[in-house]
Amino acid sequence: MTKQDRAVRTRLALIRSAAEHFESRGYVRASLAEISAGAGVSSGALHFHFVNKAAVAEAVEHVAARALRRAASRSRGGDGCALQRLVDVTHHVGRLLRADVVVRAGLRLNAEAATGRVRDLRREWRECVQELLAEAERKGELAAGVPPHRTIAVVLAATTGLEVLSRDDHGWLGRHSLTDLWHLLLPCVAAPHVAVALDPAGSGPHLVEPDTDADADADADAPQGDTDRAGLALR
């Protein structure tokens, strides 16, 4: 293993350890000593990669944002049904949050603005939902009299609520919860000829967990400290 490979592995281990401690203890209570010990490295190794705890938290947010961006990008473009792609992306994001502590911790840190965030992941999620529902309206997929802006509000409230509830019980973001949500919503918002073809359980593969921060290249260009702040959009 080269020196560069070891450095990448150490950085990823520190990010995962930080995410675990941020999730279990919160940003304020988590210490750099705990994070370095959890990664199996010295405090000096931690400070080689991160100047302070805020820089570690920013790196966690960065990896989470990258994973969420990949999930959102799968829903954009193509000729398929926009409503089905909206259903599918909620399931994919749900699987991301269940599977990866880094994504969970990064989204929570971002929502709580723990580090003076430079990106707003919930705003970007709103833009993703808004874009897909606007496309659904253009394609005639929405039921007559259904205002897109109200549908956006309902979807955002429901998905954000499930994410908050899942902090104590990851089952809230399980496939069954999201499927139940879409079973209730789709008959109300989808045009009848579209609704019959929609799958509330999602149309993509569900048995394989999505790629997350486990890939070394997922964090190859992550911020190195407070002076390197690169925002990511879910676009």
User: What integer pLDDT is reported at residue 174 of this predicted model?
Assistant: 87
Percentage of residues in the chain having pLDDT higher than 70? 83
What's the mean pLDDT when you consider all of the chain? 85
- In sequence order, the β-bridge partners of residue 142 are 190
Domain assignments of the chain as residue spans, ordered by start: 54-207
**Model-level pTM?**
0.82
| CATH fold group of domain 54-207 | Tetracycline Repressor; domain 2 (1.10.357)
Q: Which residues contact 17 (CB under 8 A, 6 or more apart)?
A: 34, 35, 36, 37, 38, 39
Per-range mean pLDDT, top range of 30-34, 79-83, 109-113: 30-34
Residue 183 confidence (pLDDT): 97
Q: Is 96 left (phi over 0), alpha (psi -120 to 50) or beta?
A: alpha
pLDDT-derived band at 76, boundaries 50, 70, 90 = confident
Three-state DSSP string of 129-187: HHHHHHHHHHCCCECCCCCHHHHHHHHHHHHHHHHHHCCCCHHHHCHHHHHHHHHHHHH
Q: Per-residue confidence at 115, pLDDT binned at 50, 70, 90?
A: low
Q: Please give the pLDDT value at position 75.
A: 81
Mean pLDDT, range 21-43, rounded to an integer: 95
pLDDT of residue 227: 31
- Residue 3: predicted pLDDT: 80
How far apart, in whole angstroms, are the C-alpha atoms of residue 75 and residue 140? 18
Instruction: Reply yes or no on whether the pLDDT at 50 is more than 80.
Output: yes
Classify residue 159 by burial, with Cβ atoms within 10 Å: 0-12, 13-18, 19+: buried
- Could you tell me which of 178, 185, 189 has the C-alpha nearest to residue 148? 189
Residue 79 one-letter amino acid: D
pLDDT of residue 184: 96
- The stretch 71-86 carries a mean pLDDT of 85
| Predicted pLDDT at 89 | 94
**What is the structure's pLDDT at 205?**
59
Provide mean pLDDT across the span 73-90. Answer: 87
**Average pLDDT estimate for 107-118:** 78
